[in-house]
Structure 1
Amino acid sequence: MSTPNPEFSRPFDVRQAQGKQPRLEADQAERAALAERFGLVRIDSLVADVELATRDRAGGFVVEANGTLKAKIVQPCAVSAEDLDVSIDEPLFFRFVPRSTAHVPDEEVELSAEDLDDIEYDGTHFDLGEAVAQSLALAIDPFLTGPEAEAARQAAGIGTPEDQGPFAALKGLKMGKD
């Protein structure tokens, strides 16, 4: 879960995370960099309030992070490219676990639903900011359309997505009665 230069890096030491309740707020430069990374017009605000809890397990500490992500973004309409104001309010849950040394690359691994929020870390630090940034990316609707979308479709001579699907030709057919 790492990027070469995370725009919103907030490293925490697993040995000192217990009971911390950090508020992560992106500054203007971080918001601009994240907006570019995610193809947004801009990010007006990005705040995550999180509560951290740790437990010791063989091989290192497990850190659970529960909280909320609130953001105000402006993203382009998927059809007309008009600017759309979007408010995001998402629950957060991450489990940071020590990187497993038993994993073999390219080995098929079965994951349970509980495993899907596990984020591996190396050493003694995990990056809560990057986890929040990736949660923001997942909360963005890539197919969001605004009020001008229909007019833009008509001007371009294309129909709605429903008119373009594999069953569009069947839509106009009527079933004959016997």
Structure 2
Amino acid sequence: MLPDEAPEFPRPLPLGTVREGGRRLTLTATPEECRALAARFGILSLESLAAELRLTPEEEGTTRAEGRIAAQLTQACIVTLEPVPQAVDEPVAFRLLPPGREPQDGPDDIDEIECPDGIADLGEAVAEQLALALDPYPRIPGAEMPDEATDRSADAFAALAALRKN
């Protein structure tokens, strides 16, 4: 999503409302929000999207979010362009950062989301997690790439190696 665009699935949450002991939230996208997200992700349809999140305050004002996202969607097969129905059911974990806190980008760190005004958009965070869970190469059963579309670079290098031996 570009900074000037309104989010398709807005669920703002002031970080200060997550008190000691935590908070549980259920987020469910409306049919209109699902259509807008499908258009954004370039998929045929998003029939449903829901998230169950447990928010827990941490030291230094951060908030940890853990839970699951579930979605029913349809993508186009990369070979035939036929519809490929899919179900997503994934665990998610991310950290919400208060104003002034910079994200850590370590390889083992969970995703960190900046909240410069102290308000987290949980809907956008869930949408981003869904985007990461989408199958990058959806295929219907039995769909095979045509021979001319396969990578034959390894064959070319083998042929060069054989020439070098001669």
Give the shorter-chain TM-score range. Answer: 0.7 to 0.9
> Structure 1 residues 16-25 or 114-123, which shifts more?
114-123
Whichever residue aligns with residue 12 of structure 1, its letter is L
* Alpha-carbon displacement from aligned partner over 1:6-64 (angstroms, at most 9, x marks no partner): 1011111111123221100001000000000001111111110000011352xxx2110
Could you list the runs of 5+ residues in structure 2 that have no partner in the other structure?
Answer: none
**1:142 Cα shift?**
1.8
Whichever residue aligns with residue 77 of structure 2, its letter is C
After superposition, the Cα gap between the structure-2 partners of 1:2 and 1:10, relative to the gap in structure 1 and judged at 3 Å, is farther
After superposition, the Cα gap between the structure-2 partners of 1:49 and 1:116, relative to the gap in structure 1 and judged at 3 Å, is closer
After superposition, the Cα gap between the structure-2 partners of 1:93 and 1:71, relative to the gap in structure 1 and judged at 3 Å, is same
Aligned position for 2:74: 74
Aligned position for 2:122: 128
CA contact (8 A) 2:95 2:110 kept: no
Matched residues, number: 158
**CA distance in structure 1 between the partners assigned to 2:104 and 2:13 by the alignment:** 29
TM-score (norm 2): 0.83
Aligned position for 1:166: 153
CA contact (8 A) 2:104 2:112 kept: no
Could you list the runs of 5+ residues in structure 1 that have no partner in the other structure?
Answer: 104-108
* Alpha-carbon displacement from aligned partner over 1:87-139 (angstroms, at most 9, x marks no partner): 111101010012437x6xxxxx9731344511111122111110000010111
1:142 aligns with 2:142: no
Aligned position for 1:13: 14
After superposition, the Cα gap between the structure-2 partners of 1:119 and 1:112, relative to the gap in structure 1 and judged at 3 Å, is same
Whichever residue aligns with residue 130 of structure 2, its letter is L
Whichever residue aligns with residue 30 of structure 1, its letter is E
1:96 aligns with 2:96: yes
**CA distance in structure 1 between the partners assigned to 2:148 and 2:54 by the alignment:** 44
CA-based RMSD of the aligned residues comes to 2.6
SS at match of 1:113: coil
TM-score (norm 1): 0.78
CA contact (8 A) 2:94 2:110 kept: no
1:87 aligns with 2:110: no
